[in-house]
Copies of this chain bind each other. A is one copy, B any other.
């Protein structure tokens, strides 16, 4: 296949300079004036890709992004963890749109790396306070009635590095431990009912099949309400790094509870006080005590573009602000945007479906005059909870924690269009 880069010089000479920004109007140039006067051969331009056959339908049985999108990837922060197997990487939120995260870009958090589970040998055990302990194959699970739900998954530590102050220059790093896909799975209630819950059952412990055996206690009320034993994401099988072949879905609650490579569900009458709900995933307060079982991911929002990795490159004039809002309590009622660090607020436009415990996309369009901005967004959810400032969070909880930072993020847009992560007092 011939690629345009093979003849880059020619195509660039022909095509560039055909557009000039003009204040107030969307940047565009009349096509039959200046370009021809400059001796350029347009229009009609004939780009290289219009001259040659491209790859055929057998070339890409499973497709991948264009080579020009090679920087749109999950990224990790090397200094953050001692090993890559117990670590995290981040969704490139600044490059994404809408509310669906493509499977290949959903952030990862592992405690012992990506378990390589053979689906033929996969088993899910149900034991504890049940009438009939059971073991299910993957095919067994697929014989229960299934449902499809679009949910966000956010790590409790998302924005955790910002608790004590702004640190990382990129929406990918500060808010990128979140994704949102359509899950297909069986309501956990149906599986527990099949085993038969005893009358003293009050909690469910979910345990992962990876080498960390990651486990968490979930109150039965939540387990029976909306949890799913999921085997598909965005239509296809779960990805290995998302728990292939089966993960737990715990809508609106912290991602650590969405146990991957799910191998066991134990029913009990009290919580297990596992490592991940005692020394980890608890919130150390100023007085030395810890908040625990802080499961719900409260209402939050962030402007994804412009942001430090997605500066304004077009200069002044019409500018699109794009962002995400979400709440573990339900839907998003309203998002406000501020251009001046929270002094003045204006309602953003929420676009696309408003689904329970899913990401919401918002936009705010304005004419940028080229002066510096302090961009903020503030979400309000369907129970009336208002996203707090970081200062409010610190007043309430101190600065020891790394979890559950849903404070308002501030991006400083400079005259050049470059953007940096700042805090306003």
Contact = CB atoms under 8 A, between A and B. Distances in A.
Interface in A106-156: 106, 108-110, 112-119, 121, 123, 125, 127, 132-137, 139-140, 142-150
Contacts of A16: 121
B182 A100 contact: yes
Contact of A353 (B19, B32, B264, B355): B355
Interface in A310-355: 313-314, 317-320, 322, 349, 351-353, 355
Contacts of A32: 133
Interface in A1-38: 1-5, 8, 11-12, 15-16, 18-19, 25-32
A396 interface: no
Given A57-B89, A102-B235, A114-B59, A135 B29 contact: yes
Contacts of A89: 57-58, 61
A231 to B, nearest CB: 8
A288 interface: no
Interface in A68-107: 68-69, 72-76, 83-85, 87-89, 95-106
A148 B97 contact: yes
A239 B102 CA distance: 12
A143 B62 contact: no
Interface of A: 1-5, 8, 11-12, 15-16, 18-19, 25-32, 43-45, 47, 49-66, 68-69, 72-76, 83-85, 87-89, 95-106, 108-110, 112-119, 121, 123, 125, 127, 132-137, 139-140, 142-150, 181-184, 194, 209-211, 213, 232, 234-241, 244-245, 261, 263-264, 313-314, 317-320, 322, 349, 351-353, 355, 361, 363, 365
